[in-house]
Structure 1
Amino acid sequence: MSEKLKNSPLMRAFLWGALAAAALPPVHLLPVLLFSVPALLRLTEEAPNWKRAAFIGWFYGFGLGMAGLYWITEPILTEAQTFWWLVPFAAPLLSAAVACYTVIPVLAARLVPAGLGRILVFAGAWLASNLAQQFLFTGFPWNFWGTDWAIPGVLGNIFLQPAATIGVYGLTLLTVLLSAMPLFGKRGLVILVFGVAAWGGYGYLRLQIPEQNTALKVALIQPDFQEPPDYSRPALIANWRRLLEMSHAALLNGAGAIIWPEAASPWLLASDPVARQQLAAVTGTTPVIAGSLRMVSPTDFRNSIVVTAGPQPPLATYDKWKLVPFGEYMPKWIPIKIIPSMVGRGFTPGTGPKTISNIPGVPPFGATICYEAIFTGQIINEHDRPDWIVNVTDDAWFGNTAGPRQHFADARLRAVEEGLPLVRNANSGISAVIDPFGRVVASMPLNYQGVLVANLPNPQPVTVYARWGLRIPFMLALTFVLLGLIYGNTRRLSNK
């Protein structure tokens, strides 16, 4: 078998990519990248031509995707009677598409000879490929190596701190550069040790900045409703009663604002005065930030956040604008319908990031729903900057897999990047209050039903990344590619 693998660079690329997925949440086995990244670069160098190099990059990305995105099949299994035929294809097809982005840095690396120049080009091009992944074909910014550092506890808190300046993309760039250091032997290992030490030292010092809480106590309601939902009237009524009972328990614990997860309300709160009256009978004028579907017209449904404070019409609404392809809508270029029946023809997207203000007793907050939290640099309105971020989601569709845990890791990074506390409320977990440094102040685990009441942390001053946003990774990618090309080709000329 070993001889066969030795003579099969494509299979080796696939296996090295699959191994790299062990660095992702929730495993966080980052040392595997010290073997996987150098192996990819060696395979790239050994490739006899550009075509073979492209295949090596693709197979590496395919392995990374298959091991890191296996959980994508879970929602299909909830409607297996309809979409059974998709089960064997979902993860491979998505992984095959995402793997195309890995071809970019591999081909770029071949533009310069082996050495420092190649590493710089490879790292910059890897960053550029991640940026393309966020924006092309509806965008799917997942499996970024910067999230590897969202390790639970103190260690993760420390290593997430540079994200306040360079974002998850910058963490990815540092990860690629450091992972390639074993190629330089002892000198590379010395650079690796000093690099990690400097990174950790910076993070430790940044965590010494004082952080305090506001007076507002927020309540996270985690009802743990089953997915797919039971739409029979008895089930809807039972779910409604559970939400009301849990909201009442939150008030008894001093909550000044109550948050429900994505699409939790069984009724259309924005247009149902009876439901709002029943809710107000329990919560009074305490603001409720509720995940609820919203009907604008008989053909226009929105996945929304509806803010109520009494029986009157809602104080504010927010419509999700980054919809999940194949889950919430069908891309026009797909000729067949393969979204869940509960969605009908699909949701209508909102207009973009929004700050919700003028809610009595509640600081202005940026609203995000589920999948939107993974889009770094695109989740809040920086021209109307909020004091905190609310992220409601329903990860129950993905079961007890890596998916919900990877989603949670992304949420921690958004808090650090923006310098804002983030309150994440998930139907079945992980729900948490996260401070502006990415520290988990309080949380409820996966597959748990409960109420969490905690003080909302204060925001920090505007971070460098919040101020400059995605211009930072664009400039980093361009700078490292240019530096690598200049250095690599200068060395090539001097060796002639």
Structure 2
Amino acid sequence: MRSTESISSGNVSADVAAACSSAPGIGAHLLKRLPSGGWRMALLMCAAGAFGALALPPLTLFPVIIPSLGLLYLAAQAARNWKQAAWCGFFYGMGLHTAGLYWLTNAILTRVHEFWWVVPFAAPGVALVIAPLIAVPAVVCRYGAPGWPRVLIFAGCWTLADMCRVLIFSGFPWNPLGSALEVPGRAGDVLLQPASLIGVNGLTFCLVLASLVIWLGRRAQFGVLAVFGLWCGWGSLRLYHARPLTVPMPVVVLVQGNVSEDEVLGHIDPAEQFGHYLQMTARGVQQAETLLARLRQSPERGTQLRGIAVVWPESAFPALLDEQPVARQMIARASGNALALIGSDRRENGHWFNSLEAVGPQGRLEAIYDKSRLVPFGEYQPWIIPFNLLPGQLTPGAGLVRWDLPQAGRVGPMVCYEVVFSGGVVARQARPDWLLTISNDAWYGNSAGPWQHLATGRMRAVEEGLALVFANNRGPSGIFDSLGHETAHTHWGQEAVLVAPVPPPLAPTFFARFHNWTAGLSAFAGIVAGFLLSWGRKEEKPR
């Protein structure tokens, strides 16, 4: 690709003058000083995108989106033609996604002797696939009139393009900009509540729109502040007035074994790993029995409790659990009368699955769930690659299910990556009372990756109005109530047993009923409104 020709320097004074009319104040000042093209513009857009990645979890410095997106928006307006605007969007996307996904390289480093040549391409390679989507708003907004029309078109196109990431391979909707509102603590609880109406994609639309409206002048800035106040007020009211349903819920024993990938790949003794988990399970069940007895004495909580559910993370069992009846009996003994939900690999008719298996008190398999959304290039190789890069590929399961188990209640099981899909975590016509995700993010070390993964669980809890239990091998692990408030957690790199009751659900949220239709229609309406507002305005046709 001839980027030096596509982003070529030239006389852009007319374009800058037109763009300045829609970007008063500091926006016009910056427009006059933007590089006209070439490698300087490409470098500036990459830097702006990387700076915007600071808004993503775990830092969640969401105000940085304002200057970051603002630079892209101004550069797209000042571009000499649509091709230059597209390159601006592409390079911004490369910076944003390479910085936001830098931690992917850590997984390669665990097997660097085999895949050393992939190290420089891990994060940039993924960014290369999804960065072109950001070219869409950068190009399309130029066809609207300056000011509000372009801002509406840009925000709508960004949101719809971002939602299209679920269509790439098996889907990769990681790090939508709406996740920038997942600020830790009470402030984040307040900011996230509108996700119960519009989901994370709706948050993305609102955040992009607000970040660009600020550039339209002082009146627009006051308007954004007023809307932000209403946003926080509504979120606070929802937190205060929410009334969970009266549903019996279990006490979970979440076992975080803290087994590193170096230990696994270094052929740690499977019996030692298994025994380690059994000891932690027995200790956790004792704590859970004490907690359960105390809670049952409470007139408020006593009738809202089931039994005990032990949770082991993804692939915690170092063999094939469904083929090991003796091992299942050992798990049952360590668990006492509790139900054990164990992450294990599974094979059937020559196919391999990444599974979550429910082991009853007698060691009998009560239920099996096979992961249905696999990680591209991690668990399976997309067909687009003509040679065998990934040995030992997995087979996707049949789809989401709901388990109805006496001790755990109605639970929606998921494995790892599946929790990142907004509107895709609950089986249709089978709403559970709580969600469970097991994962093993040890591959990525103590980087942003595991924390971003945990943050997606928090977002799904708010969207669906369901508590979510997130069990991770090395952490962080946690429990979120149906409002997204963290009720219990562990840190990364700890051997820990987390014992806590699962919070009850809310009635189905607006988002749970309509999923991403609200965000998609809002984004589409923004685009239509932008073009309608542009109708009849005498503006020079963009090139």
TM-score (norm 1): 0.95
- Aligned pairs (5 A) from 1:212-361: 214=248, 216-228=250-262, 230=264, 235-254=269-288, 256-297=308-349, 299-339=350-390, 344-357=391-404, 359-361=405-407
- Tell me whether 1:140 sits opposite 2:172 in the alignment: yes
Please tell me whether the aligned partners of residues 5 and 11 of structure 1 are also in contact (alpha carbons under 8 angstroms). Answer: no
For 1:41, the equivalent position in structure 2 comes to 73
Of 482-491 and 64-73, deviating more is 482-491
Q: Aligned partner of 1:436: which letter?
A: S
Unpaired runs of at least 5, structure 2: 1-29, 290-307
Please tell me whether the aligned partners of residues 116 and 488 of structure 1 are also in contact (alpha carbons under 8 angstroms). Answer: no
Q: Deviations over 1:76-133 (max 9, x none)?
A: 0000000000001111111111111101111111111211011111111111011111
- Measured after TM superposition, the shift of residue 494 of structure 1 is 13
- Secondary structure of the residue that 2:93 maps to in structure 1? helix
CA–CA separation in structure 1 for the residues paired with 2:160 and 2:62: 22
- Measured after TM superposition, the shift of residue 338 of structure 1 is 3.1
Q: Aligned partner of 1:444: which letter?
A: T
Match of residue 362, structure 1, among 391, 408, 411: 408
- Tell me whether 1:392 sits opposite 2:426 in the alignment: no
- Measured after TM superposition, the shift of residue 4 of structure 1 is 10
For 2:35, the equivalent position in structure 1 comes to 6
Of 214-223 and 432-441, deviating more is 214-223
- Measured after TM superposition, the shift of residue 285 of structure 1 is 3.3
CA–CA separation in structure 1 for the residues paired with 2:362 and 2:263: 26
Q: Aligned partner of 2:231: which letter?
A: W
Please tell me whether the aligned partners of residues 248 and 282 of structure 1 are also in contact (alpha carbons under 8 angstroms). Answer: yes
When residues 155 and 123 of structure 1 are mapped into structure 2, their CA distance, relative to the original with a 3 A threshold, is: same
Larger radius of gyration: 2
Please tell me whether the aligned partners of residues 83 and 338 of structure 1 are also in contact (alpha carbons under 8 angstroms). Answer: no
Please tell me whether the aligned partners of residues 148 and 213 of structure 2 are also in contact (alpha carbons under 8 angstroms). Answer: no
Give aligned pairs, total.
488
Please tell me whether the aligned partners of residues 267 and 275 of structure 1 are also in contact (alpha carbons under 8 angstroms). Answer: no
- Aligned pairs (5 A) from 1:62-461: 62-208=94-240, 209-211=242-244, 214=248, 216-228=250-262, 230=264, 235-254=269-288, 256-297=308-349, 299-339=350-390, 344-357=391-404, 359-461=405-507
- Tell me whether 1:28 sits opposite 2:60 in the alignment: yes
Please tell me whether the aligned partners of residues 65 and 99 of structure 1 are also in contact (alpha carbons under 8 angstroms). Answer: yes
When residues 183 and 272 of structure 1 are mapped into structure 2, their CA distance, relative to the original with a 3 A threshold, is: same
When residues 417 and 355 of structure 1 are mapped into structure 2, their CA distance, relative to the original with a 3 A threshold, is: same
Q: Aligned partner of 1:165: which letter?
A: L
- Measured after TM superposition, the shift of residue 490 of structure 1 is 4.0
- Secondary structure of the residue that 2:347 maps to in structure 1? strand
Please tell me whether the aligned partners of residues 106 and 444 of structure 2 are also in contact (alpha carbons under 8 angstroms). Answer: yes
- Secondary structure of the residue that 1:28 maps to in structure 2? coil
- Measured after TM superposition, the shift of residue 270 of structure 1 is 1.5
Q: Deviations over 1:286-328 (max 9, x none)?
A: 100111111113x211000000013443100000011011111
Q: Percent identity?
A: 36
CA–CA separation in structure 1 for the residues paired with 2:63 and 2:273: 45
- Measured after TM superposition, the shift of residue 229 of structure 1 is 5.1
- Tell me whether 1:55 sits opposite 2:101 in the alignment: no
- Secondary structure of the residue that 1:87 maps to in structure 2? helix
Q: Deviations over 1:243-291 (max 9, x none)?
A: 1011101111125110010110112112211111211222233100111
- Secondary structure of the residue that 1:6 maps to in structure 2? coil
CA–CA separation in structure 1 for the residues paired with 2:203 and 2:127: 23
Q: Aligned partner of 2:215: which letter?
A: L
Please tell me whether the aligned partners of residues 219 and 451 of structure 1 are also in contact (alpha carbons under 8 angstroms). Answer: yes
Unpaired runs of at least 5, structure 1: none
